[in-house]
Amino acid sequence: MGKIVLKANEICKSYKNGVNKLNVLNGLSLLIEDGEMITIMGQSGSGKSTALNILGTLDKPDSGNLEIKGIDTDTLNNKDIAKLRNRDIGFIFQFHHLLPEFTALENVLIPTWIKGEFDFEAKVIDLFQTLGVADRIHHFPNELSGGERSRVATIRAIINKPCVLFADEPTGNLDEKNSTKLIDLLGQINRDFNQSIVITTHNPEIASIGNKQYKLEEGLLNKV
Amino acid sequence: MNWEKYISERFYISSNKQGKHLGVLSMIGMGIGCFAMIVSISVMNGFETMVHGKLKGIEGDISILGNPEEKILNKVDGVTEIMPFMERKGIIEVNDISRVASIKAIDETKMDRFYNLNFIGDIPQLGQIVIGQDLANRLGKGIGEDLFAYSPVDQTVGLAIPHKKKLKISGIFSTRLLDYDERLVFISLKDGQSIFKRKYKIDGYDLMTSKVSTNIIKQELIKKLGLEYPVYTWDEKNKSLVSAMKMERLGTFVVLSLIFLVAAFNLAANLTLISIQKMKEVGVIRAMGAPTGSIYKMIILLGYKRAGTGLLVGFLCGLIIVILQNQFKIIPLPSSIYFIDSLPMLLYASDILIILIVSFLFILVASILSGRKLISTQISESLQWVK
């Protein structure tokens, strides 16, 4: 058994819409070990993004407990959670969310700036070359193709060597060719850097790449 | 590397494309506020200094009542001139017209050096008197003409009839300050000693001081003379005038701060708009681990960039006006109405500091208020924000 990097226990989350209450997560529990590739499959609206947001500390659960690298996130203040997010969590969003005001290189460097490290440029350029987007380094997001954007977003997500990388339907906005490329890339990152990755998807083919595969149904994770 | 500043600058450039006009309005608002504040405060300072200068030219910086030894006063650091005086309320009479006046007997040999009275004629020798322009007008008398002066207060002869002394008008002064031109007359110390029969030959001393604070000199005088002799600084002697000027100054400051307040609201509205426009981008930066403090720093820097330019322009324009007015008197005043021929303007470093602190405080508060929306929104919500 590898080192546990994330432990979620009995996570519940609901949303209120006027008088109606929508229970999205009903006691979700998950254990992520070092170097694992986990896929979570679910229908649209099943709560995949909500689950990932909570696991990635972007949102707070109504109840339940989340530990990252053995630290209970409930005991941390906002500043420490931000620090944890910066150092130990990486995100790849469905719509890449690259900042339009910054070049590809700057977008990737922002997490390192936040960390307080300002000499990453050479290393980042290497990564751009490895991922085949070196010629796009000084381009703005609107000058990049969908595939290029997703690769830049991937570099940004792993630049601080997080202990866990969350990818929320990363292929949702890509064509088949680019989807395959991105999934291959994530697999390569998982193998080469022993990077723990959690991918949500509604595509069974993509879900099949996980060492552990889960299905999110009625707010609970069921192992496939 | 100041990454918050770097990101804030990029947001500033892109927000300029979307809300340029609002940004310019914020700048103008802050600029006008700063300009108005600088000009008004400098005018208040100018008048205050002018009034002080005039009062100093009539009463000196410090007055001591009583009859201490003059040589003790000479030894006090900062005392540059000493004028012994006797002063009483008295009557100035010409034919059937009589006026109450404050008759001040002074050492006429020092009059030229001590007083700044806008004076025509000669200093009063024995048997002579110098009166104010308004009193001269009311009495219908001019230089070379006679009048009678007497003090019924402390001296009577025979059947309680005061001794009248005939004096020749040797000079007329015009201060145009308060009612000095009507109620103050100067005679020589010897004439004073004959009109006012007193135990002591003088009532006190007016002192001129160097640039050392009058309060420090006052304390030094009290230390040397003891509490037997009351010592008053010019502002203590003119308490109501000084407090009126202070109130006026405070009122001006508060009213003009309202211009800043309105400009700050405008800035806050502008920054809130930018914050909403940048909600998703800020959400992404927060997802990458930027702490709340950094987000506030970014929006505050944005606020300073937006309003700071206007503030700086307003500040410089105000400063230029003050300098030009002092050098070239570009704003004249009718000297027949006021006692000066141009608008006095004077700016102290402390005022500049206060104005800058107030301005920056307004920008800071406006920025923090507009940043609250960004911070209070959950990151997951920010990421789904639709512009």
- What is the residue-wise DSSP string for B336-370? TTSSSSB------HHHHHHHHHHHHHHHHHHHHHH
Residues of chain A in contact with residue B386, where contact means CB-CB under 8 angstroms, are none
User: Alpha carbon of A54 to those of A49, B186, B347: distances in Å?
Assistant: 9, 90, 58
Band the pLDDT of B245: cuts 50, 70, 90. Answer: confident
Question: Token digits for B135?
Answer: 């009193």
pLDDT at B54: 81
Mean pLDDT (whole number) for B90-110: 88
Residues of A in contact with B280 (CB under 8 A): 97
Q: Quick one: pLDDT at residue A1?
A: 63
Mean pLDDT of B280-287: 94
Do B380 and A59 count as a contact with CB atoms less than 8 A apart? yes
pLDDT at B88 over 90: no
pLDDT digits (tens, 9 = 90+) for B327-339: 998 888 887 777 7
CB contact under 8 A, B383 and A93: yes
CA–CA min distance B222, chain A (Å): 59
- Which chain A residue shows the shortest CA-CA distance from B3? A113
Of A58, A102, A115, the CB nearest to B379: A58
Predicted local confidence at residue B158, as pLDDT: 57
With CA atoms as reference, the chain B residue closest to A160 would be B288
CB contact under 8 A, B378 and A59: yes
Average pLDDT, chain A: 91
B168: which residues sit within 8 A by CB, 6+ positions away? B127, B128, B129, B144, B145, B146
3-state secondary structure chain A: CCCEEEEEEEEEEEEEECCEEEEEEEEEEEEEECCCEEEEECCCCCCHHHHHHHHCCCCCCCEEEEEECCEEHHHCCHHHHHHHHHHHEEEECCCCCCCCCCCHHHHHHHHHHHHCCCCCHHHHHHHHHHCCCHHHCCCCHHHCCHHHHHHHHHHHHHCCCCCEEEEECCCCCCCHHHHHHHHHHHHHHHHHCCCEEEEEECCHHHHCCCCEEEEEECCEEEEC
Between positions 11 and 50 of A, the ones with CB within 8 A of B are 49-50
Of B212, B232, B238, nearest to B66 (Cα)?
B232
pLDDT for residue B337: 73
Residue A113 has pLDDT above 80, yes or no: yes
Strands B165-173 and B128-132: parallel
Residue B114 pLDDT exceeds 70: yes
Q: How far is CA B57 from CA B54, B84, B180, B208, in A?
A: 5, 15, 12, 9
Mean pLDDT is lowest, of B194-198, B270-274, B307-311, B375-379, for: B194-198
Name the residue in chain B with its Cα closest to that of A56.
B287
C-alpha–C-alpha distance, residues A124 and B15, integer Å:
28
pLDDT at B163: 74
Residue B185 CA to residue B134 CA, distance in Å, equals: 11
Report the pLDDT value the prediction gives residue B269, as an integer from 0 to 100. 86
Tens-place pLDDT, residues A66-83: 999 999 999 999 999 999
pLDDT of B343 higher than 70 = yes
Q: What percent of chain B is modeled with pLDDT above 70?
A: 95
Asked if the C-beta of A166 comes within 8 angstroms of chain B's C-beta atoms, the answer is no
Which residue out of B9, B284, B288, B381 would a mutagenesis test of the A interface target, given it has the greatest number of A Cβ atoms within 10 Å? Answer: B288
Average pLDDT, chain B: 86
Which is more confident, B153 or A175? A175
B1 burial level (CB within 10 Å; 0-12, 13-18, 19+): exposed
| Residue B376 contacts A, CB cutoff 8 Å | no
| Cβ-based neighbour number of residue B10 at 10 Å | 17
Distance of residue A109 Cα from the nearest chain B Cα, in angstroms: 10
Instruction: Tell me, yes or no, if B2 comes closer than 8 A to chain A by beta carbon.
Output: no
**Chain A residues near residue B292 by CB distance under 8 angstroms:** 78-79, 82
* CB of B281 closer than 8 Å to CB of B325: no
Which pLDDT score is estimated for A214? Answer: 94
Is pLDDT above 80 for A97?
yes
Cβ-defined contact of A114 to B383 (cutoff 8 Å): no
Q: Please report the pLDDT score of residue A106 as a whole number.
A: 95
State both tokens at A168: 């929320």
**Alpha-carbon span A28 to A47, nearest angstrom:** 11
- pLDDT of residue A158 exceeding 60, the answer is yes
CB contact under 8 A, A58 and B280: no
Question: Helix B3-59 and helix A104-115: axis angle, to 10°?
Answer: 70
Chain A residues close to B290, C-beta within 8 Å = 82, 86, 114
Enumerate domains of chain A plus CATH numbers: 37-45+76-223 (3.40.50.300)
Phi first, then psi, for residue A221 (nearest 5°) are -95, 125
How distant is the Cα of B366 from the closest Cα of chain A, in angstroms?
23
pLDDT at B156 over 60: no
pLDDT tens, position by position, A121-130: 888 888 898 8
| Residue from the list B281, B290, B383 with its beta carbon closest to the beta carbon of A82 | B290
Residue corresponding to tokens 């400051």: B253
Q: Does the pLDDT value for residue B10 go beyond 60?
A: yes
Using CA atoms, how far apart are residues B361 and B373, in angstroms rounded to an integer? 20
Task: Kindly tell me if the per-residue pLDDT of B387 is higher than 70.
Answer: no
What average pLDDT does this structure show over B54-77? 86
**Residue B18 predicted with pLDDT over 70:** no
Q: Does B372 touch chain A (CB under 8 A)?
A: no
Q: B67 pLDDT band (50/70/90 cuts)?
A: confident
Query: Which of residues A217 and B341 earns the better pLDDT score?
Result: A217
A79 touches chain B (CB under 8 A): yes
Q: Which two tokens stand for residue B211?
A: 């640039």
Tokens of B136: 């001269």
Angle at A116 between CA A112 and CA A122, to 5 degrees: 45
Enumerate the β-bridge partners of residue B91: B100, B150
pLDDT band at B130 (very low <50, low <70, confident <90, very high): very high
The reported pLDDT for the residue numbered B160 is 61
What gap in Å lies between CA A90 and CA B288, rounded to an integer? 7
Q: Give the contacts of A36 (CB within 8 A, at least 6 positions apart).
A: A2, A196, A197, A211, A212
The pLDDT value recorded for residue A59 is 92
Give the model confidence (pLDDT) of A200-220 as tens digits: 998 899 999 999 999 999 889
pLDDT at B70 over 80: yes
Q: Is the pLDDT reported for residue B373 higher than 90?
A: no
B26 touches B306 (CB < 8 A) = yes
**Chain A neighbors of B287, CB-CB under 8 A:** 56, 58, 85, 91, 97
Spans of all domains in chain B: 3-55+241-383, 67-229
The answer on pLDDT for B306 being more than 90 is no
Most confident residue range from A151-165, B55-69, B150-164, B368-382: A151-165
ipTM: 0.93
- B120, two tokens: 């025509």
Contacts of residue B320, defined as CB under 8 A and 6 or more positions apart, other chains included, come to none
Cβ proximity of A113 and A94 under 8 Å? no
Measured from the Cβ of residue A167, the count of other Cβ atoms closer than 10 Å reads 26
- Answer whether A114 sits within 8 Å of B10, measured CB to CB: no
| Residue B157 scores a pLDDT above 80 | no
Q: Which residue has the higher pLDDT, A113 or B211?
A: A113
H or E segment to which residue B80 belongs = strand B79-94
CA angle A22/A27/A32 to nearest 5° reads 125
